């Protein structure tokens, strides 16, 4: 199939100018990056600001497992299925990070006949947005240490500088580092995070305009002075230069699916560390250019979807019409206790046992008052008995359920799902939409609401340093901000070994970070790391350049 897919891929690509024409974008509204990629100028959104919005559809999923869920594949397939039903559609996705691409995934542009293309370029350097975010973040870090070297006139406490450095790669060796050794300034301990966890990435994705971007960059909290005063990027005069580095990165990227449906791929925050959604600019552009904007939020619904509602929708004024909850028989069997090496064996009972994970995620979405359809991402080895078992479980909780075979069949395999989404969106009623917590609730209370109502914890335990941080942030006027939980993606709990629907556990918050520019407080839970490591056999070992062509990305 891979060889056939490669031929189809090369034969089906349309010049990006034609994709733009299909959205009603004029030649003056895009900036081409070669034949098949373009930036959309922000003026295109400004000129359509008073026009109607299309329907907003969010794709999310059950708790990820090694068995695979295929949320991006379903997202892309759904957009192609809607196009086959005569709708103008834009799918909006996040940009892949080099870290997972060379670490575990080997690519994050969909799969099979449900991909965004040119896949290799999207997965690697694309239009340079990731590098721009990395440069802007690290410029700020360099200016901080330069300020310390030249006398520290702001009287910054070296041990209370919280701004790390970043790189777009998994490298556990950089989780803890010492800078300015051998007299090159003020020696201190710091760390590297992955670029997708950078507050600059979050700011880029939440900014509603270049002016908003610049203002947010100026609010970034860097640390404390010895007198207990917050130190920001405005204090060290670096926000303007950071904005300059992001001048082009803020413009959404236009590409296409294998069936030439428009795709806007922009921004790449992780959902287990950051807020896990593509940019506000991309989503708003999709809503103005199409009848349906199909977007996604990373990892399970306890992470990306919760943050999509409580953070992105809150700041951008978005109101989704429908949630597509993606599940696979394989993943639910794993949540039902089946080891990875036995997932190929038919086991309807394990599907029923693992359904508790899917049930919890569906319950969580209903807390926000948005209608849900369950999409079963069908794998070729799934048995009819297992698929029927899963459909029965979903029907028992009163939700519609549709099979989706987009990986194998492209848009044709998602037509039924598209028809159900159209039906749900036609009946959508925004008066039922609600956030999980109010802005004026205390930070600790917001954390406890998410932990108990979304994760299913019995309560929350805070390290003393986390409690001190919450008190200090509240005292300095940050208590109104939403919270962005940093938690393992492989469990509803903070313990990555607990599958299914864990019960009788308590969430542990070990530290709390402030992302004042992005406008959120970040509790770090359990053993969560903001710089991932590589597996024993990284995907990088399978990637190569053969006769001028990149192989091994999928």
Name the active-site residue from 37, 39, 48, 71.
Answer: 71
Q: Quote the Cα angle for 248-254-257, to 5°.
A: 155
Res. 285: pLDDT tops 50: yes
Name the active-site residue from 105, 175, 191, 510.
Answer: 105
CATH of domain 443-525: 3.10.410.10
Told to judge if 309 belongs to the known catalytic residues of this protein, a careful annotator would answer no
Res. 77: pLDDT tops 80: yes
Told to judge if 379 belongs to the known catalytic residues of this protein, a careful annotator would answer yes
Name the active-site residue from 224, 270, 299, 462.
Answer: 299
Per-residue pLDDT at 215 = 98
Name the active-site residue from 126, 270, 309, 379.
Answer: 379
Name the active-site residue from 60, 63, 72, 73.
Answer: 73
Name the active-site residue from 308, 368, 407, 505.
Answer: 407
Res. 247: pLDDT tops 50: yes
Res. 381: pLDDT tops 60: yes
| Local confidence band at 10 (pLDDT 50, 70, 90 cut-offs) | low
CATH top class, domain 2-127+251-269+276-297+319-432 = alpha beta
Question: Which has the higher per-residue pLDDT, 166 or 99?
Answer: 166
Q: Which two tokens stand for residue 356?
A: 């508790």
| Local confidence band at 539 (pLDDT 50, 70, 90 cut-offs) | confident
Buried b (16+ CB within 10 A) or exposed e, 165-189: bbbbbbeeebeeeebeeeeebbebe
pLDDT per residue over 352-370, tens digit each? 999 999 999 999 999 999 9
Q: Where in the chain is the domain with CATH 3.10.410.10?
A: 443-525
Helix (H, G, I), strand (E, B) or coil at 190: strand
DSSP 515: E
Averaged over 419-439, what is the pLDDT?
92
pLDDT per residue over 449-484, tens digit each? 999 999 999 999 999 999 999 999 999 999 999 999
The neighbour count for residue 537, using CB atoms within 10 Å, is 9
| Local confidence band at 7 (pLDDT 50, 70, 90 cut-offs) | very low
Q: Which two tokens stand for residue 223?
A: 């640390």
Helix (H, G, I), strand (E, B) or coil at 70: coil
**What angle do the packed helices 348-367 and 384-396 form, to 10 degrees?**
30
Res. 2: pLDDT tops 70: no
Per-residue pLDDT at 1 = 47
Residues 6+ positions from 543 with CB-CB distance below 8 Å: 102, 106, 550, 551, 552, 553
Name the active-site residue from 94, 165, 360, 444.
Answer: 94
pLDDT per residue over 121-163, tens digit each? 999 999 999 999 999 999 999 999 999 999 999 999 999 999 9
Q: Where in the chain is the domain with CATH 3.30.1510.10?
A: 129-245
The neighbour count for residue 551, using CB atoms within 10 Å, is 14
Per-residue pLDDT at 3 = 46
Helix (H, G, I), strand (E, B) or coil at 327: strand
Parallel/antiparallel/unpaired status of strands 188-190 and 55-61: unpaired
Res. 5: pLDDT tops 60: no
DSSP 228: S
Res. 535: pLDDT tops 90: no
Res. 373: pLDDT tops 50: yes
pLDDT per residue over 503-514, tens digit each? 999 999 999 999
pLDDT per residue over 95-124, tens digit each? 999 888 888 766 678 899 999 999 999 999
| Local confidence band at 376 (pLDDT 50, 70, 90 cut-offs) | very high
Name the active-site residue from 61, 271, 282, 375.
Answer: 271
Res. 8: pLDDT tops 70: no
Averaged over 249-258, what is the pLDDT?
98
Told to judge if 221 belongs to the known catalytic residues of this protein, a careful annotator would answer no
Res. 274: pLDDT tops 70: yes
Told to judge if 71 belongs to the known catalytic residues of this protein, a careful annotator would answer yes
Give CB contacts under 8 A, 24+ apart, made by 446-451: 446/482, 446/483, 447/483, 447/485, 447/507, 447/509, 447/523, 450/306, 450/310, 450/483, 450/485, 451/507
Cβ-based burial of 475 (10 A; exposed 0-12, middle 13-18, buried ≥19): exposed
What separation in angstroms does the CA of 23 have from each of 45, 84, 418?
12, 16, 19
Reported as type and span, the H/E element at residue 100 is helix 98-103
Told to judge if 105 belongs to the known catalytic residues of this protein, a careful annotator would answer yes
Cβ atoms of residues 439 and 445 within 8 Å: no
pLDDT per residue over 181-223, tens digit each? 988 889 999 999 999 999 999 999 999 999 999 999 999 999 9
Cβ atoms of residues 2 and 119 within 8 Å: no
- Mean model confidence pLDDT for the chain: 94
Q: Quote the Cα angle for 103-109-110, to 5°.
A: 110
What's the residue count for the chain? 554
Q: Where in the chain is the domain with CATH 3.40.50.300?
A: 2-127+251-269+276-297+319-432
Helix (H, G, I), strand (E, B) or coil at 109: coil
Instruction: Give the distance, in angstroms, between the CA of residue 149 and the centroid of all CA atoms in the same chain.
Output: 37
What separation in angstroms does the CA of 300 have from each of 68, 115, 296, 304, 403?
12, 20, 11, 6, 19
Res. 525: pLDDT tops 80: yes
Told to judge if 271 belongs to the known catalytic residues of this protein, a careful annotator would answer yes
Res. 549: pLDDT tops 70: yes
Cβ-based burial of 427 (10 A; exposed 0-12, middle 13-18, buried ≥19): exposed
Averaged over 1-11, what is the pLDDT?
50
| Local confidence band at 323 (pLDDT 50, 70, 90 cut-offs) | very high
Reported as type and span, the H/E element at residue 178 is strand 177-179
What distance, in Å, lies between the first and last C-alpha atoms of the chain? 12
CATH top class, domain 129-245 = alpha beta
Per-residue pLDDT at 157 = 97
């Amino acid at each position: 199939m891979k060889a056939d897919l490669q031929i189809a891929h090369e034969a089906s690509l349309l010049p990006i100018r034609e994709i733009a024409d299909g959205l009603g974008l004029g030649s003056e509204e895009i900036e081409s990056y070669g034949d098949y990629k373009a930036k959309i100028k922000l003026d295109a959104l400004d000129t359509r600001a008073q026009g109607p919005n299309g329907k907003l559809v969010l794709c999310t999923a059950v708790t990820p497992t090694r068995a695979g869920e295929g949320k991006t594949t379903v997202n892309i397939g759904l957009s192609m299925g809607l196009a086959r039903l005569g709708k103008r559609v834009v799918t909006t996705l996040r940009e892949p990070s080099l870290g997972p691409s060379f670490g575990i995934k080997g690519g994050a542009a969909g799969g099979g006949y449900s991909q965004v293309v040119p896949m290799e370029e999207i997965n690697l350097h694309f239009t340079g947005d990731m590098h721009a975010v990395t440069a802007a973040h690290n410029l700020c870090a360099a200016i901080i240490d330069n300020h310390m070297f030249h006398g520290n006139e702001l009287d910054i406490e070296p041990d209370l500088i919280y701004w790390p450095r970043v790189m777009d790669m998994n490298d556990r060796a950089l989780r803890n580092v010492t800078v300015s050794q051998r007299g090159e300034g003020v020696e201190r301990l710091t760390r590297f995070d992955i670029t997708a966890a950078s507050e600059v990435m979050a700011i880029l994705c939440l900014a509603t305009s270049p002016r908003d971007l610049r203002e947010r960059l100026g609010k970034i909290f860097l640390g404390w002075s010895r007198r207990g005063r917050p130190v920001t990027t405005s204090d060290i005069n670096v926000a303007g230069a950071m904005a300059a580095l992001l001048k082009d990165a803020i413009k959404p990227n236009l590409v296409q699916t294998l069936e030439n449906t428009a795709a806007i791929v922009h921004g790449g925050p992780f959902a287990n560390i950051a807020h896990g959604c593509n940019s506000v600019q991309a989503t708003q552009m999709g809503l103005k250019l199409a009848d349906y904007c199909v977007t996604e939020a990373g990892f399970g619904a306890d992470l990306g979807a919760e943050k999509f509602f409580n953070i992105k929708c809150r700041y951008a004024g978005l109101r989704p019409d429908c949630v597509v909850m993606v599940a696979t028989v394989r993943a639910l069997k794993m949540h039902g206790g089946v080891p990875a090496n036995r997932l190929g064996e038919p086991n309807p009972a394990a599907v029923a046992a693992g359904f508790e994970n899917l049930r919890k995620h569906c319950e969580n979405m209903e807390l926000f008052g948005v209608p849900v359809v369950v999409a079963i991402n069908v794998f070729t080895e799934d048995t009819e008995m297992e698929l029927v078992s899963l459909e029965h479980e979903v029907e028992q909780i009163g939700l519609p359920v549709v099979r989706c075979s987009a990986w194998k069949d492209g848009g044709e395999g998602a037509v039924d799902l598209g028809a159900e989404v159209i039906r749900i969106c036609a009946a959508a009623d925004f008066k039922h939409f609600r956030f999980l917590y109010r802005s004026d609730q205390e930070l600790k209370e917001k954390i406890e609401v998410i932990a108990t109502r979304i994760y299913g914890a019995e309560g929350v335990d805070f390290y003393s340093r986390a409690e001190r941080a919450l008190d200090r942030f509240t005292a300095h006027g940050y208590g109104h901000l939403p919270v962005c939980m940093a938690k393992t993606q492989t469990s509803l709990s903070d313990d990555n070994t607990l599958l299914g629907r864990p019960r009788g556990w308590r969430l542990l918050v070990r530290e709390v970070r402030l992302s004042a520019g992005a406008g959120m407080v970040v509790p770090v839970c359990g053993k969560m790391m903001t710089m991932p490591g590589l597996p024993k056999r990284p995907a990088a070992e399978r990637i190569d350049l053969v006769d001028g062509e990149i192989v091994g990305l999928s």
